[in-house]
Amino acid sequence: MKFFNIFIVLFFVLSSSVMAQTTLTFTTADDQNHARANAVNEMLTECFKRMKIELNIIPMPSKRSLKNANDGIEDGNFVRTDGITKAYPNLIKVPEPISVNRIVAFSKNIIKINGWESLLKYHVAYVNGWRNCERELKNPKAKTIVRNEELLFTLLEKERAEVGIFGQSTGMEVLNKLDFFDIKALEPPIVVSDLFLYIHKKHERLIPEIVNNLKMIKNDGTYKKLIDKTFQE
């Protein structure tokens, strides 16, 4: 009877472990109304479906989405630039880009852009949790950190900041949604960067398979179909 009880306990422990690995939950700060968010969500869902893993995606504010993933509350975070592991050591980058981001300065004013340093003489604004802004804009003339992109562009519209930093494509979608027509995306971009999925170190063993599946999705035409479908909706 004793051995039978031990067997039952082990069975349920092992079953729970297997079940836990068939579902993963990722956080993202991407606004789920944006076309890019839908495209990336579908690509990752397809990637993990091929691995027989169900994917749950939870949108939340940028900084909290990173902290939760780093603490292991959720299993990973996307879409993020390179270098996140320095501040969030439990998150490991999956080294296959899932998107590309053109980070630009938005403003009502005509401003000459030449990298991050050219912004330091202005009152800048950015979304809380944007690591590149935290790293590069430590000492501007003034800075305002906001909770989300709508607040960022509202700040610019009301002229309470001179420059706002955000991704070009998603930023233009927000401006159209808010009917803010005097704010422009300034060229050239501050930086063009690949965007990645980061997973908690407890799932590090999955990285090679994730990379292989992402590459297959791009090479077999699935990625293009998902992008075309998403941006036509």
- Number of domains within the chain: 2
- Residues forming a β-bridge with 23: 54
For residue 225, what is the domain's CATH number?
3.40.190.10
Same domain for 95 and 27: yes
52 and 121 part of one domain:
no
Closest CA to 149 of 119, 123, 118, 180: 180
- What local confidence, expressed as pLDDT, does residue 21 receive? 54
pTM, full prediction = 0.72
Q: Which domain holds residue 133?
A: 101-192
Those residues of the chain that have pLDDT short of 50 are 7, 9-10, 12-20
- What is the per-residue pLDDT for 34? 82
Are 58 and 135 part of one and the same domain? no
Contact 61, 147 (CB under 8 A): yes
- Look-up of token digits 């999956």: 94
- The verdict on 41 and 147 lying in the same domain is no
Listed residue (121, 154, 114, 162) closest to 140, CA to CA: 121
User: Rounded to an integer, what distance in angstroms lies between the CA atom of residue 55 and that of residue 180?
Assistant: 35
The span from the CA of 183 to the CA of 4, in Å, is: 70
* 208 and 158 within one domain: no
150 within domain boundaries: yes
Residues 60 and 87 in one domain: yes
**Cis, peptide link before residue 79, omega less than 30° from 0:** yes
- Verify that 73 and 136 share a domain, yes or no: no
Residue 112 three-state SS: coil
CA atoms of 182 and 188, how far apart (whole Å): 18
> Is 86 a member of any domain?
yes
pLDDT of residue 233: 53
DSSP annotation of 97:
-
Nearest to 141 by CA among 111, 174, 102: 111
Are residue 105 and residue 48 in the same domain, yes or no? no
Give first-to-last CA distance, the chain, whole Å. 61
Tell whether 12 is covered by a domain.
no
What is the crossing angle of helices 149-157 and 168-178, to 10°? 60
Q: Do residues 188 and 106 share a domain?
A: yes
Among 176, 192, 208, the domain boundary falls at 192
6 inside domain: no
Judge if 26 and 136 occupy the same domain.
Answer: no
Same domain, residue pair 115 and 54: no
